[in-house]
A and B are shown apart, each in its own frame.
Chain A
């Protein structure tokens, strides 16, 4: 058939055939290709450019955010004074009950350089990497709640897998009820976060807060994940389908914090601030 075409068309046809075949081979075997190293180079190349592009967006948002934060700081200072008193009381009560003292997680601030994934972001490039103490599996949060976990670490950058990634699964519980489930993303009929594996007998209400549970290996217990947005039964009528609206605005991530995961044997326990 190629003989009927002029040479230029034949060449471009062969080229297209090569590209199509290569793309199909990658589609079938791509999961076996070690992509992390190539992505690391890409992240390293694009990180300075991402920073430049984001400057304009961040400067325009900084003024409004500054005003909002001033108001929030005032409100939180008042709340903090109340909580400090309550904390002292709580400590005394825990001591009297023989419970260990509560220790909050340490936070390593990072900048979100780029978001990846359509129609909703599934991964984010972070401005800190192994040099800053970020490790594989560390939890990533914002002041609003859980964002995801670190999936790839490079020397000066890292890549976070967001809650919306198809491979993400987070052990969660519903606030104050201790109802336990696993948070996963469902892409059908439209992308949404679902709390799965909850029997019909468990009572869950709209608006309740969903937190990371103590069963989670990767995440500290009690991190806000989202709120119950919708309740339904699954197709088989055996369990509930609970749609969760994420606490963190995953499409508007600018700054985040890395929380170090459980310490590895012999490894560092804390993430120093970059």
Chain B
């Protein structure tokens, strides 16, 4: 349990750190890597829906506080994504790269659409929103799958093995 909470806080801190340093530079140039959606999906795939929703909420709230506008917008959508991915994780083959690709793409598109809708605040911005969201999905999802594969190759074991145990024991 303590290990999980430690991992929870560490992953959230690393994601927020990368987002506010390296990724903010890329985002301003139009290359959007949605690290918040990525870590929420990975966490939910590994730990299931309760932890997925909790992780998404805490991470989103921290991101909202950092942005200083519309407190709760990232928290709401990331909690829902964490919950949905955690529920889906029971029925999916989590180590399948195609499954990961689809989940990451969907999570990125949903997260970016919701978060950016607040920034734009007008229907006239739909073209920008669409372009931004599609680029985010197309960039974040494949890179996320590659990162998961790299971690798996480096560690020699699946990232999601623990989730299977947890769900099997619950079933």
Contact = CB atoms under 8 A, between A and B. Distances in A.
B128 A19 contact: no
Contacts of B54: 15, 19
A27 B79 contact: no
Contacts, number: 153
Contacts of A38: 65
Given A35-B65, A38-B65, A251 B24 contact: yes
Contacts of A22: 57, 72, 75
A20 B76 contact: yes
Contacts of B128: 189-191
A20 B24 contact: no
A50 B18 CA distance: 9
A217 interface: no
B128 to A, nearest CB: 4
A171 interface: no
B35 to A, nearest CB: 11
Nearest to B25: A251
Contact of B66 (A16, A42, A54, A189): A42
Interface string B42-62: 000000111001101100111
Contact of B72 (A30, A114, A119): A30
B119 A191 contact: yes
A250 interface: yes
Nearest to A46: B17
A115 B53 contact: no
B118 to A, nearest CB: 9
Contacts of A116: 20, 24, 66-68
A42 B62 contact: yes
Interface residues of A, number: 46
Interface SS of chain B = helix
A87 interface: no
Nearest to A32: B71
Contacts of A15: 50, 53-54
Given A27-B71, A119-B28, A119-B32, A16 B53 contact: yes
Nearest to B112: A118
A31 B115 CA distance: 17
B80 A189 contact: no
A27 B76 contact: yes
A121 B119 CA distance: 12
A189 B127 contact: yes
B93 interface: no
A35 B68 contact: yes
A188 interface: yes
A125 B21 CA distance: 11
A25 B72 CA distance: 8
A51 to B, nearest CB: 10
B20 A27 contact: no
Contact of B22 (A26, A53, A190): A53
Nearest to B66: A116
A145 B148 CA distance: 42
Contact of A166 (B16, B57, B69, B83): B69
The 9 closest A-B pairs by CB, nearest first: A30-B71, A251-B28, A26-B72, A23-B76, A188-B122, A27-B72, A114-B20, A190-B128, A23-B72
Given A187-B121, A190-B127, A250-B28, 11 more contacts: A8-B50, A19-B54, A20-B80, A39-B65, A49-B17, A118-B67, A120-B27, A123-B67, A188-B124, A189-B122, A190-B128
9 contacts: A16-B79, A22-B72, A23-B61, A26-B64, A30-B64, A39-B66, A53-B17, A118-B119, A119-B27
Interface of B: 13, 16-18, 20-22, 24-25, 27-30, 32, 48-50, 53-54, 56-57, 60-62, 64-73, 75-76, 79-80, 83, 86-87, 115-116, 119-122, 124-128, 132, 170
Interface of A: 8, 11-12, 15-16, 19-20, 22-27, 30-31, 33, 35, 38-39, 42, 46, 49-50, 53-54, 57, 114-123, 125, 166, 187-191, 250-252
